[in-house]
Amino acid sequence: TSEDLRLAQDLARRAATSLDNGLLYKQAQEAIRARDSFLSVASHELNTPLTSLNLNVQALQRALKRAAQGPLPLDTVDAKLQSVQRQVVRLSRLVRELLDVSRISEGKLHLECEDVDLVLLARELAPRFSDDLARAGCELRLEMPETVMGYWDRLRMEQVLQNLVSNAIKYGRGRPIEVRVEADARMARMAVRDEGIGIAPESQARLFQRFERLASERHYGGFGLGLWIVKQIVDAMGGHIHVESEPGRGSLFTVELPLRLQEGPAPSGA
């Protein structure tokens, strides 16, 4: 009867609403969990370099006081200052990541593109890793042609490469790292390969999400924002990034970018 039909429709509508509400509730719970977990990671990440800075500054003050009675131990002072420098670099990087996240979330990732030689960029960037490479005891190999010219945002491209190589050093178990750059008529390809701890297949899709740090990698430190930012930059330049990896064997991150941005407004990273 029409009354039964009306009742059935009513029931269906209510079921759909409660399904929607259930979904919304689950999403809200998930967002709260992500926020809480991020706050705890962020406070820990910021606190570690600050504690170390504090200890080093106290040690330097003590050394200066003792210098009234004898010569200043220059080696110790130098070692402490280098450690201070490392912690300041680490803090700046973390703060820069936070700034990037708010900029990108507000749709304010503005690209300033110019003619860039990707090969030159990689060659110029490589020496910046020498300290980290020496500390990890690993070697960086560059496999590149003479030149790969494209129209990109130079600083953002540096950031992409810097992030991928830093991760390769961090998770690379001291094994050699390879950066390969190549191009065809339309696309440039930049690949960073390590032979480190690798990433489980079920985790690979989550890597490029915000605040995603794999639970097993907690002790390596980091906000879990780097790869999300990298993906937003690569997307904004009309490219894409993907990963191939096997646990225990290593990872290969490949970025593909058109040599020029497509006509029309540049996609924003929001």
**Which residues are near ligand ADP by CB under 6 A?**
167-168, 171, 194, 196-199, 207, 212-214, 217, 222-228, 251
Q: Could you give the angle at the alpha carbon of 261 between the alpha carbons of 97 and 230, nearest 5°?
A: 20
- With respect to ligand ADP, which residue has the nearer C-beta, 150 or 224? 224
* The 3-state secondary structure of 166-216, one letter per residue: HHHHHCCCCCCEEEEEEECCCEEEEEEEECCCCCCHHHHCCCCCCCCCCHH
> Which of 168/261 has CB closer to ligand ADP?
168
When the beta carbons of 49 and 150 are compared against ligand ADP, the nearer one is: 49
Nearer to ligand ADP (CB atom), residue 80 or residue 170: 170
Give the nearest distance from C-beta 216 to ligand ADP in angstroms. 7
114/233 Cα distance (integer angstroms): 15
Q: Give the nearest distance from C-beta 29 to ligand ADP in angstroms.
A: 23
What is the spatial distance between Cα 182 and Cα 163, in angstroms, rounded to a whole number? 19
Residue 81 identity (one-letter amino acid): L
- Provide the minimum distance between the beta carbon of 139 and ligand ADP in the complex, in angstroms, as a whole number: 16
Closest approach of Cβ 94 to ligand ADP, in Å?
Answer: 9
Angle (CA) 23 27 31, round 5°: 170
When CB distances to ligand ADP are compared, the closest residue is 222
